[in-house]
């Protein structure tokens, strides 16, 4: 017994030091002192002596820096240098671009929640709110999405004019250049609201405010370029596009074959230094109508007109549409969401040096410029459009499921439908928090490389899930296309969002963890950077300091993961109120598990992890769910901890933890070295997998929020265009919802009378009149039932067409390539 007690005391002392991340010195003193005291008290002399020898054998060399550096760190530095894969210039650029925000805490294994909770609550300014209530409302009221998507395959001229005149294209352009200079939150709110009226309009507005020339010019443009273009872009006098993608370079954008050769050419009788460009681009948004084209290409200088380097690398230019040789104007047709999108090509197109963004000094810096600005655009455009679509789905599907009756009941009452409604509500809640957090990060001045990828991936994937659920709950109503169908275009648009700005499979498999692990990890990037220190003594000292901090970090994470796992994350101090404290503790637990797994995976697999995409994707999922759950807790705090939101928060939180567990389990189960996997399982899931998905009861409470007016629903559908104008079915459905609910008890009374044979008429109006005569219903009740029935009929109706209306307006034969699809020559 005394032996056991002594061993246990030494273990607890060591574990407590690791759990609280004390210094090596504190650990040594605490462990040796505990062993001594307990050994003497219990009389376990031999155990005590053996333990002391081991403890001192570990502690003493580690506490002698010079010895430690020479005997331990120096050989490890050699091994590390050999094992660290050489990064390509592209990877180096991607890793160094952007900043790290709260996601860094999640990688620490011990998040400091004060950092998150102290961040200011994101709010719109009075001017931004006025823009939402004014021009954005007005634009939404002008939109007829059927006209846009089916009849015109374009925005009508008055909508184009309004968008330009109201400066929708100038949201990110500073006021000094005539733009609106909105915060990222306002930019996101505008896109969210527009996307609830039309995916085509929101996509059109998103592009010039995202990876458009404006963003590039703001950061890298010369004064002359800024003064020339920005005021014109702000008011839509110039329409921009940005052309990177081509037939041979999609996801792997750095491999673009498009090239430019530095040369001299006579322009208006003057010899001019410039670039002769050959390129073939496709999928370029706004290209068919663009007046200024941002172009990415590889620049070569074979005659050394710019300097010694021949292959200068990726370079960006801005070409006016009138540039001779530019082939532009044809359109692609992206999935019935007909925003302007098309190919651009050119052969030996001459562009003067002044067209290079930032001028000749920025030649070859194109990739860094793109990666840096891409993270900001990616944090806003697609997450906002997806979030708006999800909010609109929540408003529409909740109302529809309460109105549509089958088997004598509102379909929302059936458990199968309730399940879909719960997913819509819970995932929408999570996504609103995610896009808000990411926009807030941009407003704090961050360039969120990792979290913008998380936001892009998860907002669009969850939008796909919600769009599918929305279609299912609406049944045939959502399948029959026409002006009355408000669901199908959203569903059709989902794969576009999934594909653009980094297609989702690659974003998940390669980018989130790939960048996250190195960028957010407290030591890995610094260790890699230490390798490039020229002075060996300095390099060794830096590496030694980082290495031993890193080892302590790893041991601490293992202990924290195990202890929090064994206790079900129910111990220790954490942030939050009585309701959310357990949530923060769970995040503490999985943060430690993620940090532990990240170290083990990177340590054991090294550079090979890059090719183990399925493992990397799962660890990326863990980071994502922790980030999303943190964003939800912040949102809950920022909203004043509203009790009404708790079912949404609880559903989404449990879903995130359930998915976190599945991702960790999958990563560990598939780890190639089984003994390591076994050890990790013991540390991460000491009591097995205990997380459960959100319960059916919780799902019912979420569905109830969607199907009745209330403060939680109002917050969930914030920024949905709900004004009940003639063009806005969702707004009118929403306006009818209180009457639908008020009519339910009256309908039950009426139904009982019908069942009891009290009413003889065969038609509904006759039955109502009879019910009033018989005293079953009052006049007001009968009027309510009539109003609701008429209103609901409009919403359950679908369109039908004259067969001629559905015929193609232009056939393949009209277009002159009826036999073979058109071939493009690369």
CB of 329 to ligand FAD, least distance (A): 15
Q: Is 501 a catalytic residue?
A: yes
Alpha helices, DSSP H only, in 345-414? 366-403
250 contributes a contact to ligand FAD by CB under 6 A: yes
Catalytic residue (choose from 105, 215, 446, 501): 501
CB of 252 to ligand FAD, least distance (A): 6
What is the phi/psi pair of residue 303, to 5°? -95, 10
500 contributes a contact to ligand FAD by CB under 6 A: yes
Nearer to ligand FAD, 343 or 358 (CB): 343
Q: What is the DSSP letter of 508?
A: I
Alpha helices, DSSP H only, in 685-778? 696-706, 711-716, 729-755, 764-773
Nearer to ligand FAD, 388 or 554 (CB): 388
Element (H, E) at 81: helix 74-83
Sequential DSSP letters for 302-341 = TT-SS-S-SEEEEEEEEEETT-TT-EE------TT----E
Binding to ligand FAD (CB under 6 A) within 215-244 occurs at 241-244
Distances in Å between the Cα of 363 and the Cα atoms of 169, 194, 358, 557 are 27, 37, 8, 45
CB of 561 to ligand FAD, least distance (A): 29
Instruction: Return the ∠ at Cα 200 (arms to 195 and 202), rounded to 5°.
Output: 40
Sign of the four-CA dihedral 642, 647, 652, 655: positive
d(C-alpha 412, C-alpha 707), whole Å: 8
512 contributes a contact to ligand FAD by CB under 6 A: no
Nearer to ligand FAD, 247 or 738 (CB): 247
> Do residues 401 and 421 make contact, with C-beta atoms less than 8 angstroms apart?
yes
- For the chain, the residue count is 826
Of the candidates 467, 440, 438, 430, the residue with the CA atom closest to the CA atom of residue 455? 438
Stretch that binds ligand FAD, among 186-194, 277-285, 630-638, 773-781 (CB under 6 A): 277-285
Nearer to ligand FAD, 469 or 501 (CB): 501
CB of 185 to ligand FAD, least distance (A): 24
d(C-alpha 21, C-alpha 555), whole Å: 9
Which distant-in-sequence residues (6+ apart) come within 8 Å of 816 by Cβ? Answer: none
Among 251, 309, 406, 797, binds ligand FAD (CB under 6 A): 251
Helices 366-403 and 89-96, axial angle in degrees (round to 10): 60
Nearer to ligand FAD, 392 or 510 (CB): 510
Secondary structure (3-state) at 790:
helix
Stretch that binds ligand FAD, among 262-270, 500-508, 682-690, 762-770 (CB under 6 A): 500-508
CB of 510 to ligand FAD, least distance (A): 5
505 contributes a contact to ligand FAD by CB under 6 A: yes
CB of 248 to ligand FAD, least distance (A): 9
Among 283, 462, 627, 636, binds ligand FAD (CB under 6 A): 283
Distances in Å between the Cα of 381 and the Cα atoms of 92, 207, 621, 632, 756 are 26, 8, 21, 20, 57
d(C-alpha 559, C-alpha 592), whole Å: 9
Residues touching ligand FAD, count (CB under 6 A) = 22
613 contributes a contact to ligand FAD by CB under 6 A: yes
623 contributes a contact to ligand FAD by CB under 6 A: no
CB of 283 to ligand FAD, least distance (A): 4
> Do residues 607 and 84 make contact, with C-beta atoms less than 8 angstroms apart?
yes
Binding mask 470-499 for ligand FAD (x = CB under 6 A): --------------------------x--x
Return the residue nearest ligand FAD (CB atom).
250
Among 506, 533, 602, 796, binds ligand FAD (CB under 6 A): 506
Question: Per the structure block, which two tokens stand in for 230?
Answer: 């920005």
**Rg of the chain, C-alpha, whole Å:** 31
341 contributes a contact to ligand FAD by CB under 6 A: yes
366 contributes a contact to ligand FAD by CB under 6 A: no
What is the helix, strand, coil percentage profile of the chain, to 5? 65, 10, 30
Nearer to ligand FAD, 373 or 510 (CB): 510
Stretch that binds ligand FAD, among 305-313, 502-510, 598-606, 813-821 (CB under 6 A): 502-510
Stretch that binds ligand FAD, among 454-462, 506-514, 525-533, 577-585 (CB under 6 A): 506-514
Among 213, 240, 334, 360, binds ligand FAD (CB under 6 A): 334
Stretch that binds ligand FAD, among 245-253, 536-544, 701-709, 712-720 (CB under 6 A): 245-253
Nearer to ligand FAD, 94 or 241 (CB): 241
Element (H, E) at 273: strand 270-285
CB of 621 to ligand FAD, least distance (A): 15
Nearer to ligand FAD, 244 or 547 (CB): 244
What residues make contact with ligand FAD under the rule CB under 6 A?
Answer: 241-245, 250-251, 283-285, 334, 341, 496, 499-501, 503, 505-506, 509-510, 613
Active site residues: 501
């Amino acid at each position: 017994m005394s032996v056991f007690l002594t061993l246990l005391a030494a273990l607890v002392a060591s574990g407590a030091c690791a759990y609280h991340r004390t210094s090596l010195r504190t650990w040594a003193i605490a462990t040796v002192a505990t062993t001594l005291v307990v050994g003497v008290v219990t009389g376990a002399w031999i155990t005590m002596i053996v333990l002391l020898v081991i403890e001192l054998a570990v502690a003493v060399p580690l506490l002698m820096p010079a010895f430690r550096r020479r005997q331990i760190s120096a050989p490890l530095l050699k091994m590390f240098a050999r094992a660290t894969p050489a990064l390509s210039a592209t990877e180096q650029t991607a890793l160094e671009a952007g900043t790290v925000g709260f996601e860094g805490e999640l990688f620490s294994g011990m998040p400091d929640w004060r950092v998150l909770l102290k961040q200011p609550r994101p709010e719109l300014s009075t001017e931004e709110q006025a823009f939402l209530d004014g021009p954005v409302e007005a634009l939404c009221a002008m939109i007829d999405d059927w006209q846009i998507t089916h009849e015109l395959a374009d925005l009508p001229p008055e909508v184009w004019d309004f968008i330009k005149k109201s400066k929708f294209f100038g949201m990110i352009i500073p006021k000094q250049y005539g733009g609106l200079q909105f915060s990222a939150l306002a930019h996101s709110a505008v896109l969210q609201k527009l996307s609830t009226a039309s995916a085509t309009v929101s996509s059109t507005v998103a592009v010039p405010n995202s990876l458009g020339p404006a963003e590039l010019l703001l950061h890298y443009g010369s004064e002359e370029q800024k003064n020339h273009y920005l005021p014109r872009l702000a008011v839509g006098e110039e329409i921009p596009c940005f052309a990177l993608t081509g037939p041979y370079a999609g996801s792997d954008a750095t491999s673009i074959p498009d090239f430019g050769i530095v040369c001299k050419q006579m322009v208006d009788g003057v010899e001019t230094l410039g670039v002769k460009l050959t390129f073939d681009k496709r999928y370029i948004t706004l290209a068919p109508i663009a007046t200024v084209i941002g172009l990415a290409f590889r620049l070569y200088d074979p005659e050394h007109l710019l300097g010694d380097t021949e292959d200068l690398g990726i370079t960006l230019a801005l070409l006016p549409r009138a540039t001779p040789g530019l082939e532009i104007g044809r359109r692609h047709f992206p999935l019935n969401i007909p925003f302007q999108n098309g190919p651009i090509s050119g052969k030996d197109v001459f562009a003067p040096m002044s067209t290079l963004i930032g001028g000749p000094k920025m030649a070859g810096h194109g990739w860094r410029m793109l990666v840096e600005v891409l993270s900001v655009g990616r944090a806003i455009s697609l997450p906002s459009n997806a979030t708006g679509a999800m909010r609109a789905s929540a408003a529409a599907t909740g109302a529809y499921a309460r109105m549509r009756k089958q088997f004598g009941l509102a379909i929302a009452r059936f458990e199968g439908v309730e399940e879909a409604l719960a997913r819509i509500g819970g995932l929408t809640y999570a996504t609103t928090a995610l896009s808000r957090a990411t926009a807030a990060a941009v407003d704090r001045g961050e360039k969120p490389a990792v979290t913008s990828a998380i936001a892009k991936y998860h907002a669009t994937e969850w939008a796909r899930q919600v769009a599918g659920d929305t279609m299912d709950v609406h049944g045939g109503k959502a399948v029959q296309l026409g002006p009355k169908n408000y669901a199908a275009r959203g569903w059709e648009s989902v794969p576009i969002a999934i594909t653009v700005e980094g297609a989702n499979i690659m974003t998940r498999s390669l980018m989130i963890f790939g960048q996250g692990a190195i960028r957010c990890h407290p030591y890995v990037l610094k260790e890699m950077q230490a390798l490039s220190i020229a002075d060996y003594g300095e390099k060794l000292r830096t590496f030694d300091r980082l290495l031993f901090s890193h080892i302590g970090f790893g041991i601490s994470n293992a202990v924290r993961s195990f202890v929090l796992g064994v206790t079900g994350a129910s111990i220790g101090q954490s942030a939050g109120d009585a309701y959310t404290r357990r949530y923060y503790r769970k995040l503490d637990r999985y943060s430690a598990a993620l940090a532990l797994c990240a170290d083990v995976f990177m340590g054991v697999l090294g550079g090979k992890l890059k090719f183990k995409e399925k493992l990397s994707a799962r660890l990326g999922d863990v980071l994502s769910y922790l980030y999303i759950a943190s964003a939800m807790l912040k949102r809950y705090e920022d909203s004043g901890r509203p009790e009404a939101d708790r079912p949404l928060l609880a559903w989404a939180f449990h879903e995130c933890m359930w998915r976190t567990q599945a991702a960790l389990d999958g990563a560990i189960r598939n780890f190639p070295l089984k003994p390591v996997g076994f050890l990790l399982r013991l540390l991460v899931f000491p009591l097995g997998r205990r997380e459960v998905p959100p319960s059916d009861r919780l799902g019912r409470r979420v569905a109830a929020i969607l199907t009745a007016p209330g403060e939680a629903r109002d917050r969930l559908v914030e920024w949905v265009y709900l004004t009940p104008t003639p063009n806005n079915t969702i707004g009118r459905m929403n306006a009818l919802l209180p009457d639908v609910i008020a009519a339910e008890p009256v309908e039950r009374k009426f139904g009982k009378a019908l069942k009891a044979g009290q009413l003889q008429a065969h038609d509904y109006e006759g039955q109502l009149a009879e019910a009033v005569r018989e005293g079953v219903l009052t006049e007001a009740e009968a009027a309510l039932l009539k109003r609701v029935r008429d209103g609901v009929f409009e919403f359950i109706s679908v369109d039908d067409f004259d067969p001629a209306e559905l015929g193609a307006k232009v056939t393949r034969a009209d277009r002159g390539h009826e036999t073979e699809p058109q071939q493009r020559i690369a």
